[in-house]
Amino acid sequence: AQSVSQHNHHVILSEAASLELGCNYSYGGTVNLFWYVQYPGQHLQLLLKYFSGDPLVKGIKGFEAEFIKSKFSFNLRKPSVQWSDTAEYFCAVVSNYGQNFVFGPGTRLSVLP
């Protein structure tokens, strides 16, 4: 069965610090990869996605992620976080075997003003 792991349960940063959140998945075949964000009290929203092509993908609000196939990883990055980035971040995978989205446990990001 597919699984997704996220390295950090809770990350605390000061504004302007750089961010990297880890994501690894277990499936060895072709995958589509996603990062979703859930701001307090809001629904899950798509930050960025990877289907194919350039492994460095850019999303909304200055976020980017890099797909490294050999490491089964899809880490999320942002050079300078803002207080408004405080949220829960979820990595998700869809494989060409199963058609449902498999989510990681999430990483809670707290940005201190």
Residues that bind other proteins (CB under 8 A): 4, 32, 34, 36, 42-46, 49, 51, 90, 98-106
Sign of CA dihedral 74, 36, 31, 1: positive
Is 36 or 74 the residue whose CB approaches other proteins more closely?
A: 36
**Shortest distance, CB of residue 32 to other proteins, whole angstroms?**
7
**Shortest distance, CB of residue 57 to other proteins, whole angstroms?**
12
**Shortest distance, CB of residue 106 to other proteins, whole angstroms?**
5
Residues 6+ apart with CB under 8 A from 80: 15, 16, 17, 18, 62
Is 28 or 98 the residue whose CB approaches other proteins more closely?
A: 98
